Amino acid sequence: MNRKNYRRLFLPLVVIFLLVSFYYTGGEEELFVIASEEKTPEVDSSLPLKEQIDTILEDERLDGAITGVSVRKADTGEEIYSNHGDIRLHPASNMKILTASAALETLGPDYQFTTEVLTDGKMTGNVLQGNLYLKGKGDPTLLEADLEKFAKTLKDQGITKIKGNLIGDDSWYDDIRLSQDLNWSDEPFYTGAQVSALTLSPDNDYDAGTVIVESQPGEGEQAEVTVTPRTDYVTIVNKTKMVKAGETKQISIEREHGSNRIIVEGQMPADGSTTKKWVSVWKPTGYALDVFKKALENNGVTFIGNAKINSGQAPENAKELTSKQSIPVAELLLPFMKLSNNGHGEVLTKEMGKVVFDEGSWDKGLEVMEDVITSFGVSEDAILLRDGSGMSHKNYIPASELTKLLYKIQEKDWYSEFEYALPVAGISDRMVGGTLRNRMTEEPTKGNVKAKTGSLTGVYTLSGYVTSADGEKLIFSILNNNYIDGSMAPIQDAIASVLASYEFE
C-alpha cells in the first residue's frame, strides 16, 4: 500500500481514536486506548526477540518519526536489544522516573513537607494582638480541611479575634512560579499549575494550585456553576445557557491567561450531565490565604481593625501556634507516578534544591537531580534536564540511559517504594493501574507490565519493567518522538507483549 492510500485509510481511524474520551488522571491527561480502531502490529512469535521487535518498528505509523528502544535483563543489566538507544530523545512524563529516583535518594521515602501557622503577637484576653502567618514549606497536599483544623486549633487556644494582618509566607521557595519551558498557553490548566511554597489542593489527588469547577443543569436560564473549595479568589464568569433536554451539551471551562477570571460558556441541556474541570489558579499563595480566612471565620475567629491579607515573611522569632505535616514522599509518589501529577515533579525538584543547597529553585533542584542521576551511572553528556515533570520539550535522555537508570536503582533500599508507584497495566483501580489501567488489559501483559507513561505533542513514551514467559525480569524503554499521525500506544503495547510472551530458554 503506498503512502497516499495508507493515509486515506488511516486518517478516518485517527478521527475515531481522537474521539475517545480524555480521562482525568490527577496530573496529566493521558489519552487512553478505550475504543481505538487502530491496528495492533502482528509479529511471528517464533522469531528471535530482535526480529520480533524490528518487525513492530517497521510499522508505517513510524514513517518520518524516530523511536528509541532499549531492553535489558534486570538481573545483569545486559542490554539485549537497542534501536536508536543512544539517541537523545524527549522523555515527556518518563522524566518523572528521574525525579522520583532523585527525590527518594535525596529526601528519602519518609520525608514530609510542613505547613506552619505563626504569630509575632501576644494574647490579650481572647484577642491576638499581632499578625497571623500561614507559612508554606512546599506541601502539595494541603487541603481546605487542614485549614479548618488550623482554625479550630486557634479557637481552642482561646483566640476569637485577631488585631493584625493575615500574611502568607511562601519564601521557602523562590518566586518563580512556572518552569522555564512551560508554554504560556499551558498555564491556565491543571497540568501547568503554578508552583508556590504555599499552595492548596482541592481534593486528594493533590493537584496543588487548582480549583475544581463544575457546571450542571440549572433551574434558570443559565447552568449552575460551583467552585471547590469555596473561594472568592477566583471569579466565575457564567456565559452558559440552558437548552431543552436532548440537545447537545457544549460546555467549556477555561481561565483567562494572567488572571483569575474563569470563563464558563456554552450550552447545557436540561438533562445534561455535570462537566467537571480542574483549573489552575494565578498566584496560589493568595488562594490559600483566602480559603484560610474563610476557615477562620467559619470557626468564629475574626479580624478586627484595618486587617489586610498579603504576602510577606514571618519573623525568625515568630511563635508557632500549630502546624501540619504532609504524607511521606513514598505515599506522594502514588499520585505523582500513577496519575502523572506534574506539580509534584516540580515541587520535589525545588525541595531537593532547598534541602541540599538551601535554595528552593529549579536551577538548584535540577543540579541535585543531575548529580544523583549520574551517580547511578547515567552519562552526564547524554542528558539535558529542564524540569521535574517532563512538560518541557527540551528534556533529553536516550532510551539506553533510561534502562540503565532503571537497572541501577534496583539495588537501592527505597526501590520497592519506587516500583510500587509505577502504573500497572490493565488494573482498573486508578491508584494501582494509573495511566495504564485501560491499556494491555489481557494476559500476559495485564498486571505484569509496570511502567511510566508519558505524552506531549509528538511524544509518547513508556519505560519500566516486565517479566517474560519463562520468568526473566526485563527492563525496557520506548521513546516515540516526532510522530504526527495516529497513536503510538498499540506499537508500544505490542513491544511490551512480545517481551511478556518471550521465552529465553
pLDDT of residue 485: 85
Report the C-alpha gap between 38 and 13 in whole angstroms.
6
**Closest Cα partner for 48 from 444, 477, 504?**
504
Q: Considering 96, 293, 294, 364, which one is annotated as catalytic? A: 96
pLDDT of residue 45: 87
Helix axes 489-501, 49-56, angle to 10 degrees: 170
Q: How far apart are the first and last CA of the chain?
A: 37
Helix axes 284-298, 144-156, angle to 10 degrees: 50
Report the C-alpha gap between 43 and 52 in whole angstroms.
6
| Residue 319, H or E segment | strand 319-325
Written as one letter, the residue type at 266 is G
> 282: alpha, beta or left, given left = phi > 0 and alpha = psi -120 to 50?
beta
Dig out the grid coordinates for 138 from the structure.
Answer: 512546599
pLDDT of residue 6: 36
Q: Considering 340, 400, 468, 477, which one is annotated as catalytic? A: 340
pLDDT of residue 394: 97
**Closest Cα partner for 21 from 10, 35, 40?**
35
Sign of the alpha-carbon torsion through 398, 399, 401, 402: positive
Q: Residue ranges of the domains in the chain?
A: 3-33+52-110+330-501, 114-176+284-327, 211-279
Same fold yes or no, 3-33+52-110+330-501 and 114-176+284-327:
no
pLDDT of residue 33: 40
pLDDT of residue 23: 34
Q: Considering 93, 179, 389, 477, which one is annotated as catalytic? A: 93
Is residue 96 flagged as an active site residue?
Answer: yes
pLDDT of residue 42: 85
179 backbone dihedrals φ, ψ, rounded to 5°: -65, 155
Is residue 340 flagged as an active site residue?
Answer: yes
Segments of 20-155 assigned E as strands: 66-73, 79-83, 114-119, 122-124, 127-129, 132-136
pLDDT of residue 52: 97
pLDDT of residue 36: 43
The strand pairing partners of 423, in sequence order, are none
Report the C-alpha gap between 3 and 231 in whole angstroms.
54
Fold of 114-176+284-327: D-tyrosyl-trna(Tyr) Deacylase; Chain: A; (3.50.80)
Look up residue 336 and give its DSSP letter. Answer: I
The strand pairing partners of 255, in sequence order, are 262
Sign of the alpha-carbon torsion through 195, 201, 202, 207: positive
Is residue 149 flagged as an active site residue?
Answer: no
Q: What is the pLDDT along the chain (505 residues), one digit of tens a residue?
A: 333 333 333 334 333 333 333 333 333 444 444 334 478 888 888 999 999 999 999 999 999 999 999 999 999 999 999 999 999 999 999 999 999 999 999 999 999 999 999 999 999 999 999 999 999 999 999 999 999 999 999 999 999 999 999 999 999 999 999 999 999 889 999 999 999 999 999 999 999 999 999 999 999 999 999 999 999 999 999 999 999 999 999 999 999 999 999 999 999 999 999 999 999 999 999 999 999 999 999 999 999 999 999 999 999 999 999 999 999 999 999 999 999 999 999 999 999 999 999 999 999 999 999 999 999 999 999 999 999 999 999 999 999 999 999 999 999 999 999 999 999 999 999 999 999 999 999 999 999 999 999 999 999 999 999 999 999 999 999 999 999 988 999 999 999 999 999 999 8
Give me the architecture of the 3-33+52-110+330-501 domain, per CATH.
3-Layer(aba) Sandwich (3.40)
